């Protein structure tokens, strides 16, 4: 290792590698993990929609109420929404440089993600528990 006298970090900080924002590579890593998880999950979702194309309400309700489908759909939503929230934050951080505007948009990004997630998962639970 070069410059062993120039590193200002404590040994603990160096081991944790979390950087000044205390997040380290957390976002980067979660973005990759959800990207990998998204591949089978999105393929399931697309296949499910193909199978249901043109189906009537009763049919669609019954399909979504199936415990396996409901469970995987919940995973599709959680993985997809986590992934897109981090992705959008990266886009905001790339293009928006005013500190106030950046914070406002990052907050809006979180609100949007939670709103879509809560509405979707509530609908799924309602169908799964026969509402």
Which residues sit at the interface with ligand HEM, rule CB under 6 A?
31, 35, 38-39, 42, 80, 83-84, 87-88, 90-91
| 7-15, 16-24, 100-108, 112-120 -> range binding another protein (CB under 8 A) | 112-120
Q: How many residues does the chain have?
A: 131
Closest CA to 83 of 40, 42, 18, 33: 33
**The dihedral sign for the CA sequence 88, 93, 98, 99:** positive
Q: Identify the CA nearest to 110 among candidates 78, 79, 84.
A: 84
Q: Which partner from the list ligand HEM, another protein, none does 64 bind, CB cut-off 5 to 8 Å by kind?
A: another protein
Show the site string, 32-51: x = touches another protein by CB under 8 A, - = not: x--xx-xx--x---x--xxx
């Amino acid at each position: 290792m070069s410059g062993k006298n120039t590193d200002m970090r404590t040994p603990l900080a160096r081991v944790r590698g979390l950087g000044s924002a205390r997040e380290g590579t957390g976002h980067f890593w979660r973005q990759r993990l959800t990207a990998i998880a998204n591949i089978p999950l999105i393929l399931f979702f697309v296949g499910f929609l193909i199978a249901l194309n043109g189906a009537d309400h009763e049919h669609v309700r019954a399909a979504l109420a199936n415990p396996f489908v409901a469970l995987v759909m919940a995973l599709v939503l959680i993985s997809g929404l986590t992934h897109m929230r981090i992705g959008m934050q990266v886009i905001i951080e790339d293009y928006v440089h005013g500190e106030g505007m950046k914070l406002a948009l990052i907050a809006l990004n979180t609100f949007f993600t939670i709103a879509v997630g809560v509405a979707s998962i509530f609908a799924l639970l309602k169908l799964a528990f026969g509402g």
